Amino acid sequence: MSAILRKTVRIIKHLPRRFSRAPGKDDLDSQREEVLSKLWVTYEATRAMGLDEVLIDPEQLARLGILTLPLDLTGDTDTNRVVPPALNPASYFVPLTDDYIREHPVDLSDSVTAEWFNDKAKALDPEFRGFGNEPMSSYDAADQLSRCLRIEMSSSRLNCEEETQKLTWLNKWRVTGWSNLEPVFEGKELISGTEIMWYLEALYVCRVRSLPPHVKAILSHSHVDNSEPTLLKAELKVIIALMYSRWSMEGLLDMIVPVFLLSFIGRNVRCSIAIHDGTQLRISKSPLYPAKNSEVWQHVVRHMGGRINEKLDTKTLPVVDEVEE
């Protein structure tokens, strides 16, 4: 571990760790500043890692005070009864049902939409060769799959009422741009000394009410060996960047900022959902699934198109000591 990273970890360990009582307005302001400080320190620690470092192993995550939890992308996000819902990142989003996806397929009568789905098949085929008879790189495959998911989110679906024909309309997700990121954060990177690159493909914010804190994003990333058991450095940087930027928005008064990140890593895919509970960053992470599996793709779509859980309070931080008892 570098000297900078060791110093940063020491800073994190000495930051206040618990909020022991329900806060008033002044307390909320100070707690928000405290959490922003913690997020920034963690982001700086991540950036201080080696330039060619791609993976963040479990020991590094533990040193940074980050808790990872299992997430089953093929199931319902709100069925984990071990972790209280307020401390379970996955509980802040509710996926669409399997039946909804089956009963409302994408309308492929539009030739442009149909062509995108043909492109998805090409991206999933490792033997496909494009311009100049060159094989498609793992990053290009991830990028193509990310774009296909964006198209699926915005395409008309069959057997729907007009106002819910698209997944973005159904649960009021609006695609937005990098303008929602604070300028200090990166939205793309070519890893020094490697051919590995990543790109923040899309951001979605919810409009079920004025300025809900929830945000969803799609990440395109080159294939990385041994990425199954841990997080990619890019994933952690994007999660923190989205959370920090959303929390910093003028007019946003919520204290919990749930972040949903869908990562295409080459031809594989996984989902990470994160919150900061005021004590630590909690990330629910699914296994890495092959995107070529049609059932996996359906689960990806139903999670990406799902709604926010309005039953969970985001206006105050959970009183951690009481919730965990």
Residue ranges of domains in the chain: 3-323
pLDDT at 25: 55
Give pLDDT tens digits for 131-166. Answer: 677 888 999 999 999 999 999 999 999 999 988 999
CA 1 to chain centre: 26
pLDDT at 242: 94
pLDDT at 20: 35
The tokens describing 81, both together, are 């009864």
pLDDT at 110: 87
pLDDT at 229: 87
pLDDT at 208: 80
The list of the chain residues with pLDDT below 50 reads 1-22, 322-325
